[in-house]
Amino acid sequence: GAGVSQSPRYKVAKRGQDVALRCDPISGHVSLFWYQQALGQGPEFLTYFQNEAQLDKSGLPSDRFFAERPEGSVSTLKIQRTQQEDSAVYLCASRGGQHTDTQYFGPGTRLTVL
């Protein structure tokens, strides 16, 4: 595809449920980022992959959050035992090539925890 795609676009979960959010980066982009955007706020960094290696996970808010990118392409962000404070838009961004600094964002997944 031409851009970063994310699925599902909307997810409603009951408190305590596990959810999995998918990101398909731009083809060939080696770097992939996840951000969390609360309502009315700017995005906040969660984690970063270069190919399949998770190089930075300093922004993950708790051990209930887990991200993977096993083949260096598609990435999944998993949230276990969801809480109401997890409600947010989860944005994925990819960056390509050693000399391309721009992060291209997907449309996000809006997670609502009831």
Partner 1 sequence: QKEVEQDPGPLSVPEGAIVSLNCTYSNSAFQYFMWYRQYSRKGPELLMYTYSSGNKEDGRFTAQVDKSSKYISLFIRDSQPSDSATYLCAMSAAAGNKLTFGGGTRVLVKP
**Which residues make up the interface to partner 1 (CB under 8 A)?**
4, 31, 33, 35, 40-45, 48, 56, 59, 91, 93, 95, 100-108, 110
Return the number of the residue (15 or 27) whose C-beta is nearest partner 1. Answer: 27
In the sheet that holds 75-79, the strands lie side by side as 5-7, 19-24, 75-79, 65-68
Smallest gap from Cβ 12 to partner 1, in A, equals 16
Q: Are 69 and 49 in contact (CB under 8 A)?
A: yes
SS3 content of the chain, % helix, strand, coil (to 5): 5, 50, 50
Smallest gap from Cβ 19 to partner 1, in A, equals 19
Smallest gap from Cβ 38 to partner 1, in A, equals 10
